[in-house]
Chains A and B, each alone.
Chain A
Amino acid sequence: DQQVKQNSPSLSVQEGRISILNCDYTNSMFDYFLWYKKYPAEGPTFLISISSIKDKNEDGRFTVFLNKSAKHLSLHIVPSQPGDSAVYFCAASGNSGGSNYKLTFGKGTLLTVNP
């Protein structure tokens, strides 16, 4: 079963506007949530993470929001730039009971930022 779900395969936005990428999860044992960006022919690159005890984490143009009761998180990119065009993966990890070693990824969302 898909424990981490990204229901939008693609998203297209205009340069300078906000990009919002969404992610849902089913496993309440997840403690950390991470976002990765992936360009073609490259490995995923870490963007930002959030602990389950927080509801917001910000790093420059990137902000991640966590709604634990809804088991939902989102990544906001403001302002969007053409160089942000890539596949974005949501990932989750448990960090207790020895399970802090692997990430469970969603299927990804292809973001296209149009000039």
Chain B
Amino acid sequence: DTGVSQNPRHKITKRGQNVTFRCDPISEHNRLYWYRQTLGQGPEFLTYFQNEAQLEKSRLLSDRFSAERPKGSFSTLEIQRTEQGDSAMYLCASSLGGQGAVYGYTFGSGTRLTVV
């Protein structure tokens, strides 16, 4: 298994444009998480899926953000009408059941978004 894969690695977009990121988790992991990390901060929870069901969304996830995991495998995170404050590293992680809290999630390398 190649771990958690995120694409693209980098994205530069103009303010007001829409962007979409993709995450491919470890194949046997049924839980998938999205986090956001800004400069000087630790990762902050955005949302998580168990299989295809989105079970929680953070208050950080405004109406401009939407995440999907249509077949319980890969996930996409879309940001509409991007703002400069959306510039951050977007991290995806996966785990098997609730074991992530005990044995650690596996994180991808992230997608760095720059809104100009």
In the complex, number of A-B residue pairs with CB atoms less than 8 Å apart: 70
Question: Which of B4, B40, B55 touches A101 (beta carbons < 8 Å)?
Answer: B55
Q: Which residues of B contact A32 (CB under 8 A)?
A: 101-102
Q: Which residues of A contact B4 (CB under 8 A)?
A: 43
Q: How far is the CB of A79 from chain B (nearest CB, A)?
A: 23
The answer to whether the Cβ of A44 comes within 8 Å of any Cβ in the partner chain is yes
Q: Are B98 and A100 in contact (CB under 8 A)?
A: yes
Question: Which of A43, A100, A102, A108 touches B42 (beta carbons < 8 Å)?
Answer: A108
Q: Which residues of A contact B42 (CB under 8 A)?
A: 4, 89, 91, 105-108
Q: Are A102 and B103 in contact (CB under 8 A)?
A: no
The number of residues on chain B lying at the interface, defined by a beta carbon within 8 Å of a beta carbon of chain A, is 28
17 residue pairs from A and B, CB less than 8 Å apart: A32-B102, A34-B101, A43-B107, A43-B109, A43-B110, A45-B107, A46-B104, A46-B105, A47-B104, A49-B102, A89-B42, A101-B48, A101-B55, A103-B43, A103-B45, A105-B42, A106-B42
